[in-house]
């Protein structure tokens, strides 16, 4: 069995009830989005801004760097999930830029509120399930959550991963 299949199966053990699964479908992408948004809120050195083309400046932040390193991890696990995560990550980066431009509250505050609400949702789901979150056993499962969600999306579309 492939490593990704083992990881997804192990992650699924603590995600069995319909309520917990539904909450995770909503909250895992929101946590990913808000974490990248929080990292995007950290100012980058002006030296970096001087060497990049203007169209890349809104994406020159720690959130993009974390996405790039995460994509290497997903590439090792599954090429199809990697492509899905590239697509999702692109949407996340574009949406964060939109929020930064058009939402009147500071980006960090908006993202922090989303992050907190999404984690509360996660813990409500796990409380309902009666099982601890997988990442308490192994931090690697913080990366598997988005892949697990993407794998269900792929299954619904009948895409092999």
- Taking each continuous run of H as one helix and of E as one strand, the counts in the chain are 7, 0
Q: What are the sequence ranges of the domains in the chain?
A: 24-156
In terms of pLDDT, which residue wins out, 9 or 137?
A: 9
pLDDT at 49: 77
The mean predicted confidence, pLDDT, of the chain is 93
For the CA atoms of 77, 158, 88, 3, what is the dihedral angle to 10 degrees? -10
CA 110 to chain centroid, in Å, comes to: 16
* Predicted confidence (pLDDT) per residue in 9-66, tens digit: 999 989 999 999 999 999 999 999 999 999 999 988 888 778 888 899 999 999 999 9
Give the 3-state secondary structure of residue 72.
helix
Specify whether the CB–CB gap between 146 and 85 falls below 8 A.
yes
Mean pLDDT of 118-130: 95
Mean pLDDT of 89-107: 98
- The candidate with the shortest Cα–Cα distance to 115, out of 131, 65, 123, 69, is 123
Please tell me what DSSP assigns to residue 16: -
Burial of residue 12 (CB within 10 Å: 0-12, 13-18, 19+) is: middle
- Contacts of 8 by beta carbon, 8 Å cutoff, 6+ apart: 144, 147, 148, 151
């Amino acid at each position: 069995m492939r490593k990704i299949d083992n990881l997804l199966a192990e992650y699924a053990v603590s995600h069995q009830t319909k309520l917990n699964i539904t909450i995770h479908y909503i909250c895992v992408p929101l946590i990913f989005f808000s974490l990248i948004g929080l990292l995007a809120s950290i100012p980058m050195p002006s030296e970096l801004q001087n060497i990049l083309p203007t169209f890349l400046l809104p994406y020159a932040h720690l959130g993009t760097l974390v996405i790039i390193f995460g994509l290497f991890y997903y590439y090792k696990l599954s090429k199809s999930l990697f492509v899905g995560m590239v697509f999702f990550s692109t949407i996340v980066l574009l949406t964060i830029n939109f929020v930064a431009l058009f939402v009147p509250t500071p980006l960090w505050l908006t993202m922090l509120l989303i992050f907190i609400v999404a984690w509360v949702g996660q813990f409500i789901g796990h409380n309902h399930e009666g099982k601890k979150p997988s990442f308490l056993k192994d931090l690697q499962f913080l990366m598997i959550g988005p892949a697990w969600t993407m794998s269900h999306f792929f299954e619904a579309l009948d895409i092999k991963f």
